[in-house]
Amino acid sequence: MNLFENFRIALRALAANKLRSGLTMLGIIIGVAAVVALMSVGKGATSGITEQVENLGTNLITVSSARMFGAVRGGDEQTLYMTDYEAIQDKIGQRAEIAPYYSSSATVIYGSRQSSYTITGVTPSYAVVSEYTLTRGRFITNSDNTGKARVAVIGATTATDLFAGLNPVGRDIKINGITYEVVGVLESKGSLGLSSDDVILIPLETGYSRLFMGLATRGGKQRLSGLILSAYSADDVDSIMQEVEFVLRREHGLTLTDDMIFTITSQTQMLSSLSDITGTLTALLGAIAAISLLVGGIGIMNITLVSVRERTREIGLRKAVGARRSVILFQFLAETLTLAILGGILGILVGAAIAWAVSYSGLITALVTVDTVLLAFCSAAAVGLIFGVYPAYQAAGLRPIEALRYE
Binned at pLDDT 50, 70 and 90, residue 263 comes out as: confident
Edge-first strand order for the sheet with 80-81 is: 80-81, 221-224, 217-218
Which pLDDT score is estimated for 297? 84
Pick the range with the lowest mean pLDDT from 97-101, 202-206, 269-273.
269-273
Query: What is the average per-residue pLDDT within 187-210?
Result: 80
Q: Is 320 left (phi over 0), alpha (psi -120 to 50) or beta?
A: alpha
Q: What angle do CA 185, 190, 194 make, to 5 degrees?
A: 80
Separation between Cα atoms, residue 275 and residue 39, nearest integer Å? 15
Task: State pLDDT tens for residues 353-376.
Answer: 998 988 888 777 788 889 889 988
pLDDT over threshold 80, residue 106: yes
Separation between Cα atoms, residue 1 and residue 329, nearest integer Å? 12
Q: What's at 271, amino acid-wise?
A: L
| Contact (CB, 8 A) for 78 and 65 | yes
Task: State pLDDT tens for residues 390-407.
Answer: 877 777 666 655 555 555
Percent residues over pLDDT 70 in the chain: 82
Q: Considering the entire predicted model, what is its pTM?
A: 0.62
| Contact (CB, 8 A) for 208 and 121 | yes
Cβ neighbours around 61 below 10 Å, total: 26
pLDDT over threshold 90, residue 237: no
Which pLDDT score is estimated for 3? 56
Name the packing angle between helices 325-361 and 267-310 (round to 10°): 140
Separation between Cα atoms, residue 81 and residue 251, nearest integer Å? 10
Q: What angle do CA 67, 100, 278 make, to 5 degrees?
A: 55
Strand partners, 263: 64
Pick the range with the lowest mean pLDDT from 49-58, 116-125, 159-168.
49-58
Among 196, 200, 174, residue whose Cα is nearest residue 105: 200
| Contact (CB, 8 A) for 29 and 295 | no
- Distances in Å between the Cα of 119 and the Cα atoms of 64, 140, 196, 197 are 17, 14, 11, 12
Binned at pLDDT 50, 70 and 90, residue 70 comes out as: very low
Which pLDDT score is estimated for 2? 57
Query: What is the average per-residue pLDDT within 36-50?
Result: 81
Name the burial class of residue 17, with classes exposed (0-12), middle (13-18) and buried (19+) by CB atoms within 10 angstroms of its CB: middle
Which pLDDT score is estimated for 189? 75
Pick the range with the lowest mean pLDDT from 128-137, 166-175, 191-200, 236-245.
191-200
Q: Is the dihedral of CA 80, 84, 86, 88 positive or negative?
A: negative
Among 190, 231, 230, 194, residue whose Cα is nearest residue 50: 190
Nearby residues of 43 by Cβ (< 8 Å), 6 or more positions away: 282, 366, 367, 369, 372
Pick the range with the lowest mean pLDDT from 97-101, 224-228, 291-295, 400-404.
400-404
Binned at pLDDT 50, 70 and 90, residue 203 comes out as: very high
Q: What angle do CA 237, 270, 75 make, to 5 degrees?
A: 85
Our measurement of the distance from residue 50's CA atom to the centroid of its chain's CA atoms, rounded to an integer in Å, reads: 8
Q: Is the dihedral of CA 93, 129, 64, 239 positive or negative?
A: negative
Separation between Cα atoms, residue 210 and residue 233, nearest integer Å? 37
Among 173-182, 249-258, 277-286, top mean pLDDT goes to 173-182
Separation between Cα atoms, residue 324 and residue 314, nearest integer Å? 14
Nearby residues of 148 by Cβ (< 8 Å), 6 or more positions away: 203, 205, 206, 209, 210
Strand partners, 60: 230
| Contact (CB, 8 A) for 231 and 59 | yes
Separation between Cα atoms, residue 341 and residue 380, nearest integer Å? 6
Maximal CA-CA distance, the chain:
103
Which pLDDT score is estimated for 188? 84
